[in-house]
Structure 1
Amino acid sequence: MGKREREDPCRVCRHYHNYDEGEPCDICGHVGTSTKAAQIQVSSFPSEILPDFLYLGGFDTASNFKIDVTHGISHILNTVPSCENLYPSSFTYHRLRDEKALEFDNAIQFLDKCEIDKSRVLVNCMSGRNRSPAIVVGYLMKRKGWRLAESYQWVKQRRPTIDISPEFQQQLKEFEARLFGSRDGYGLSELNNQLQDLAFGPVNDNIRMDY
């Protein structure tokens, strides 16, 4: 073997790199040199939310054909109505249509089918920080039975760059109330206040769940 490879795969793209020569990966083009590791655009890579099933990313992820194929992704949930589906002959797409409202039921129906078919699916928006993570948080609440705070923290731990807007935070709170009802007899406004500090905050290491 002419090149000395790492014992473990790169934690960013999961491929093996020759650190001495600093050559780009022949699969995804990522240069895995230790001196350049901090310059890697980690946002270009999908974040694994549920093992071998659910991935989260932005437009740069959805547009990188090689990376998606390498991760075994075959389905893409495009949460941005104005964003075109780039590779319709290679991936199965589902695009949400509402610019303002998070279409939880529509998205979950597609994700359910992906899970039944044992397909790996990428949920993307333009940045992978706002609309798509909000949809993923809603999916976890619906299908895992986790409350909003736990679902958000689960996603935040796996993709720290997410930054859900106040508008979508409110829609998530309303979705939680719809799924679980108000807590201890409180109305929605009281429930929102109760969750404000816990949900959408920094990662809480005390909130951990086994998948």
Structure 2
Amino acid sequence: MRKRERENPCGICGHYHKYEEEEVCGICGHRIPLSSDKSSLQVSAFPSLILPGFLYLGSYDNASRSELLKSQGITHVLNTVPACQNLYKNSFTYHCLQDGKILLFDDAIQFLEQCERDKARVLVHCMSGKNRSPAIVVAFLMKSKGWRLLQSYQWVKERRPSVDIGQAVYQQLQEYEQKLYGSSNSSNLVLLSFQPGGAPLNFGLSEVKDPVPVPIPAFSNLGGASIFAHLPPQEFTFGAGQTQKNLSENLANPSGSDIPMDNA
């Protein structure tokens, strides 16, 4: 890369790559939005509100829009990706996780709890706002609200439908749930179905009760007696036999549809 190009870093991620030419940043993976993403660019400029007046979740693109953050009253930023630069240190209070693979839940939660005590509004972000930062928010909800993993994930997913937590990060969340509660009883998040605008989530997470027994038909509740005992003997004949009267009528009417049976 030529010297002049290195003098002008990307205005979004702060690293040196040809953003306008759709070159992917070799440090943090930042790229120009695809055509399918451009329709939602205006909406994605704003981070997602997780807890009113306190907790926001977003991407590095959200974190780079200082004026929009200020308009929402955000004063603190939790950066979950060490490779992402903290762009506005004079305007926001930053806290950056130092491990790029393992999520340091306790470190992040300690910072968020301090923000909550100070009544400060904080943005939690990663590069895309889909994996690492949602996992931190989920862990915070488990610790601060006393919710289990599935309940916390549903809360975040409802408010930011683009969340897509990877298997490796999900396993760390399972381990954290086990650390907090002594067990992990959450099913795989891949199996969760989310429908925006659907019925409100049941955060009681009560276990599914046994199905209501189907009422037993009255005729089977006769104290063990056979149903045939309640039929008049002269009106019921076992098998496919016919009464003598019916047999005589059939023999007298050979044009009928029924074929008389051979009694031989």
Instruction: Give TM-score, length-normalised by structure 2.
Output: 0.59
Query: 1:172-209: per-residue Cα shift (whole Å, max 9, x none)?
Result: 00000000012xxxxxxxx4xx5225677223745344
Letter in 2 for 1:153: Q
* Cα separation, partners in 2 of 1:139 and 1:208, compared to 1, 3 Å: same
Is residue 119 of structure 2 the alignment partner of residue 118 of structure 1?
yes
- Counterpart residue identity of residue 121, structure 1: V
Partner of 2:136: 135
Which 4+ stretches in 1 moved above 3 angstroms? 197-200
Aligned residue number for residue 207 of structure 1: 201
Aligned residues: 163
Matches within 5 A, 1:75-86: 75-86=76-87
CA contact (8 A) 1:149 1:200 kept: no
Partners in 2 of 1:83 and 1:91 — Cα distance? 15
User: Quick check: 1:152–1:199 contact (8 Å CA) kept in 2?
Assistant: no
The 8 Å contact of residues 149 and 199 in structure 1, kept in 2 or not, is answered as no
| Distance of 2:52 and 2:139 partners within structure 1 | 18
Are 1:152 and 1:200, in contact at CA under 8 Å, matched by a contact in 2?
A: no
Residues 123-161 of structure 1, C-alpha deviations (whole Å, 9 max, x = no match): 000000000000000000001000000000000000000
Structure 2: distance between partners of 1:203 and 1:153: 8
Secondary structure at the residue paired with 1:49?
strand
Counterpart residue type for residue 98 of structure 1:
D
Identity of aligned residues (%): 56
Per-residue CA distance 1:38-93 (angstroms, 9 max, x = gap): 92412221100000000000000000011100110000000001111000000000
Answer with 1 or 2: which has the greater Rg: 2
Alpha-carbon distance in structure 1 between the residues aligned to 2:148 and 2:109: 16
Q: Which runs of 5+ in 2 are unaligned?
A: 1-37, 205-264
Residues 62 and 200 of structure 1, relative CA distance in 2, 3 Å threshold: farther
Distance, in Å, in 2 between the alignment partners of 1:85 and 1:125 is: 12
Residue 99 of structure 2 is matched in structure 1 by 98
- Considering Cα pairs closer than 8 Å and 6+ residues apart, tell me whether 1 or 2 has the greater RCO: 1
* SS of the residue 1:83 aligns to: coil
Q: 1:195 aligns with which of 169, 186, 207?
A: 186
Distance, in Å, in 1 between the alignment partners of 2:123 and 2:65 is 12
CA RMSD of superposed structures (Å): 1.9
Change (3 A) 1:129 1:78: same
Which residue of structure 2 lines up, in the alignment, with residue 25 of structure 1? none
TM-score by length of 1: 0.73
Structure 2 counterpart of 1:195, which letter? Answer: S
Distance 2:190 2:155 in 1: 11
- What SS does structure 1 have at the residue aligned with 2:157? helix
